[in-house]
Structure 1
Amino acid sequence: MSLVRAVASIAFVLWPALGLAGPRDDYAQQWPLQLSSANAGAYRVVLDDSVYLQARQSGLRDVDVIDGTGNPVPAAIYRPGANDVRATTKVSLPWFALPARAAGAGQDWQLVSEVEADGRLRRVEARGIGRSTATGPQTALLIDASTVRTPIRALELDWAPGTALDAAYRVEASDDLERWREVAANGRLVDLEQGGRRLLQRRIAFEAAGLRARYLRLSPINPDAVAPIRAVSAELSAGADPAPLRWRQLKGRRLAAEGAKDKGARFEFELDGRFPIQRIDVALPGNYAVRWMLESRDQADAPWQRRLDTWTAYRVGADGRSSSRALSARTDDRYWRLRADGAVPAEPTLRLGYQPEMVVFIAQGAPPYALVAGSARTARDDLPLPQAMMALQQGRGADWRPAEASLGAMKALAGAAALQAPEPERNWRTWLLWAVLVVGALVVAGFAFSLLRGSAPPAA
């Protein structure tokens, strides 16, 4: 009986080690969460640089929220503007027809305008100038947005139904009708009908931060693929302005030339965290004009992915320099490469801009709650939290938002141990513990068998 008790005692003591490590042992660092309201139920916390520096997995898969007992609670990462149904307003904008540019010609507009004291256009007369003085059809648009005081999220154009249309437009902006700059825009105008079904797209969207300009100019890429516009409206966001960009400045290393005929320059950079990069800029000392191409990759041995096609970065004097460039999609890649098609005498600084994301979580379990980050062992579970947030918003009104929470000071959990890949399943301690349990089971079975034999009835 003493042997059975000894085996049972060993198994009781060692059994917890058979389980998986708790969440606190799977993460490198934690940040206590300070809640703005004790009974809100749902909270949002904006991430700071310290979280991005600790995260190791792409998409912040190793960032989570745990309760006071160390158990994870429902949580999800929200990007600025994503999964956020903002109230929008539309305002009608005055517009004027302009002559289209002739395909392949160096033709431009000469605008003769009358402007009110507040900047509104009273009258616009457009004349084609260049090699040919002939003007094309009035298919381009000059839009007067001088009365708009908030960023424009998108333009919506209206035209008479029944016109087959599939047209792309170039969008330019100006504040004085003299100097124009091209702006990034997504969307094309589509109006197609077949088999009784209609495909309609009237919207030209700008970047998430919106566009600020007094005047806009829309030019069809193909002057023949246009429709007669009869109204233009601007979509404005009624929500708060997006958070300003934060920037990481990287110094890289120059790579050797690939061959004798290689006249360009290449520079590699390593980002120190999982930052969701959405804009880039390149700076050099002094005056410069360099044509660049940008690539990135997630791992040091992965193939390079092109992020920006060739563009020119320049600086002339104190106030003449190129603006930063927007990426087509956010990326949290760690490795970046700049390629120049000519000589670059100095070392460039790569500036990577991002907007901080936020974690939204449900206050499940017992407080206090903490945000945890940095793990090679585990990842946050995918839960239908966005659907739950949308349902709450529908029930409580479009202006409802989770209550605010803030990050406390960073504290160590498992530290560097959580950043090491888990050991293979052949861990000797696990096998030893299972062996102890099996031996204990055999001892118990043998003891029971001996009892059965001892209690057998005597032979007749």
Structure 2
Amino acid sequence: MIRTVRRSLGLFALTAGIAIAAAPSLEWQWPIDGGNGVLQVELDESVYRHIQRDDLGDLMALDADGQPIPMGPLSQVWTPPSIRELPMQPVPLFRLPAKTGDTGGDAVELHIRRDDDGRLSALDASVTPGSGGNDASSDILLDLSALKSSYDALQLHLDLPDDASFDARLQIDGSDDLSHWRAVGGDHALLYLKQNGFELVRDRVSLPRVSHDYLRLHRADGGSLPVDMIEVRTLPAVEVTPPQPRSLRLSGEAMDDEAGAFTYRSPGPFPVSRLDLETSGDNAISAVIISSRSDDKQAWRERGRFTLFDLEQSGARLHNDSLMLRGDSRDRLWRVQTKPALRTAPMLRLDYVPDRFVMLTQGPAPYRLAAGSATAVRENYPLPALLSEIRRNSDADWRPPLAKLGEGSALAGNAALEAPSKPLPTRQIVLWVILIGAAFLLLLLVGRLLKQPPE
């Protein structure tokens, strides 16, 4: 598998490195610490503050020579395997013998008759044989000790006649030594109904992520479990942890033409998904309209409405729920309109989930992330094909390792943010020179004609 992945990386690097362009001019850089191969990086606030384009096109990964290396948004080139795609595998199943103990012994009845003087006159005894023990047991033991990972679901294959119905509550205990048991989840419903041509089946049991070596299954009512095979869904050894939400707080400025309206400027194209307003601590209540736009040339676009309240009641602080946006917004300008008008601008809190990018290291190390340019734009690399090939030849829990970003420093500085001067209109200059020259020649010809005496 490793050989296949290396071959895929080599072929991709060869195709991606055919055209070598001049090193792009970028304002800021961050060292990447994560080794070689396919890596993913998570953007922090400092990176967003230097990105100029709303589509993040001026964000690049560079090698030691300043040449761009393949890079693209993680969400567009690779999706972590869905939990529903993880395979189920059968596990050994054993039926436990019945517990020894009370076997329900013989029942003896005594009938005693006495005379008037108290002496025993008759004694009758009847003996009813006991029911004895029952060797059958409803408990099932699963041996999962051979699994090298945790699991979160069981698939039960019910062994029932075609016309049978089944409805039971299943209880599950887990153990690592067969001596000490603990409950795994609560009661789990098992159901199989087939009536009037319709079929209703619930034969999968969802569990919390556990890794017990043994599971014991039994019905809550003590009945039998008509099961002939059980499969378990194992989980990746490494959990795929999504990026953690982060917050950005902005101070507002009052608008001159509208009371209770305030504007805010975001320092970068943050993917805002939720927002809230924070007052200075005084009791406040107001109807709020939130709008945004990408720059001063665009019209305001309403993002949502809610009632802002920030009250202290019986020693507790009451605050409104935050506003969830219908879709992520990278707008840099925000407007808050309040009625009744708030006297001071509340703090605008923007919540976002940072973007992640995947990159392929090639060329000389060390590698770095760079951003901020008036002209440079990242190329579109065929990364989806590479990631698909690696995933197909790798373990189910493979994912690009997460690299760390170091402290940022200037690269080209402010010079990268300056728009290049327009090139001289060479063609127009040449045409004007030709036109002026032709006019000058025409004037010379006219002058000579005027100087000639009439014939």
TM bucket (normalised to shorter chain) is: 0.5 to 0.7
For 1:358, the equivalent position in structure 2 comes to: 356
- Report the alpha carbon displacement of residue 61 of structure 1 after superposing the two structures with TM: 0.9
For 1:72, the equivalent position in structure 2 comes to: 68
For 2:89, the equivalent position in structure 1 comes to: none
Computing the radius of gyration from Cα coordinates, the structure with the larger value is 2
**1:149-203 CA deviation, whole Å, 9 max, x = no partner?**
xxxxxxxxxxx9999xxxxxxxxxxxxxxxxxxxxxxxxxxxxxxxxxxxxxxxx
For 1:277, the equivalent position in structure 2 comes to: 272
**1:327-351 CA deviation, whole Å, 9 max, x = no partner?**
1111211100112232212321110
For 1:374, the equivalent position in structure 2 comes to: 372
- 2:53 pairs, out of 57, 64, 69, with 57
For 1:408, the equivalent position in structure 2 comes to: 406
Q: What does 1:112-191 align with in structure 2 at a 5 Å threshold?
A: none
Q: Say yes or no: does 1:32 pair with 2:31.
A: yes
For 1:328, the equivalent position in structure 2 comes to: 326
- State how far apart, in whole Å, the 1-side matches of 2:50 and 2:404 are: 17
Query: Quick one: which amino acid aligns to residue 54 of structure 1?
Result: H
- State how far apart, in whole Å, the 2-side matches of 1:79 and 1:331 are: 16
- Report the alpha carbon displacement of residue 44 of structure 1 after superposing the two structures with TM: 1.0
For 2:254, the equivalent position in structure 1 comes to: 254
Q: Aligned in 2, Cα 1:338/1:80: closer, same or farther, shift over 3 Å? A: farther
Query: Quick one: which amino acid aligns to residue 256 of structure 2?
Result: A
Query: Quick one: which amino acid aligns to residue 273 of structure 1?
Result: G
- 1:304 pairs, out of 266, 281, 300, with 300
**1:39-67 CA deviation, whole Å, 9 max, x = no partner?**
xx101111111111111111211100011
CA contact (8 A) 1:75 1:383 kept: yes
- State how far apart, in whole Å, the 1-side matches of 2:80 and 2:59 are: 21
**1:347-406 CA deviation, whole Å, 9 max, x = no partner?**
211100112222210112222211110001111112232343233223213321112322
- State how far apart, in whole Å, the 2-side matches of 1:288 and 1:161 are: 61
Q: Aligned in 2, Cα 1:394/1:350: closer, same or farther, shift over 3 Å? A: same
Q: Aligned in 2, Cα 1:360/1:419: closer, same or farther, shift over 3 Å? A: same
Give RMSD over aligned pairs: 3.6
The answer for unaligned runs of 5 or more in structure 2 is 1-19, 87-151, 155-184, 187-194, 199-234, 430-455
For 1:245, the equivalent position in structure 2 comes to: 245
The answer for unaligned runs of 5 or more in structure 1 is 1-19, 93-146, 149-159, 164-236, 259-263, 432-460
For 1:424, the equivalent position in structure 2 comes to: 422
Q: Aligned in 2, Cα 1:293/1:399: closer, same or farther, shift over 3 Å? A: same
CA contact (8 A) 2:61 2:369 kept: yes
- State how far apart, in whole Å, the 1-side matches of 2:285 and 2:385 are: 48
Structure 1 range deviating more: 290-299 or 388-397: 388-397
TM-score normalised according to structure 2 size: 0.52
Query: Quick one: which amino acid aligns to residue 255 of structure 2?
Result: L
For 1:295, the equivalent position in structure 2 comes to: 291
**1:182-236 CA deviation, whole Å, 9 max, x = no partner?**
xxxxxxxxxxxxxxxxxxxxxxxxxxxxxxxxxxxxxxxxxxxxxxxxxxxxxxx
Q: Aligned in 2, Cα 1:344/1:32: closer, same or farther, shift over 3 Å? A: same
TM-score normalised according to structure 1 size: 0.52
Match of 1:300, SS state, is coil
Q: Aligned in 2, Cα 1:398/1:161: closer, same or farther, shift over 3 Å? A: farther
- Report the alpha carbon displacement of residue 297 of structure 1 after superposing the two structures with TM: 0.8
Match of 1:386, SS state, is helix
For 1:213, the equivalent position in structure 2 comes to: none
- Report the alpha carbon displacement of residue 240 of structure 1 after superposing the two structures with TM: 4.0
Q: Aligned in 2, Cα 1:315/1:50: closer, same or farther, shift over 3 Å? A: same
**1:72-115 CA deviation, whole Å, 9 max, x = no partner?**
111012359983334258979xxxxxxxxxxxxxxxxxxxxxxx
- How many residue pairs match? The answer is 267
Q: Aligned in 2, Cα 1:291/1:34: closer, same or farther, shift over 3 Å? A: same
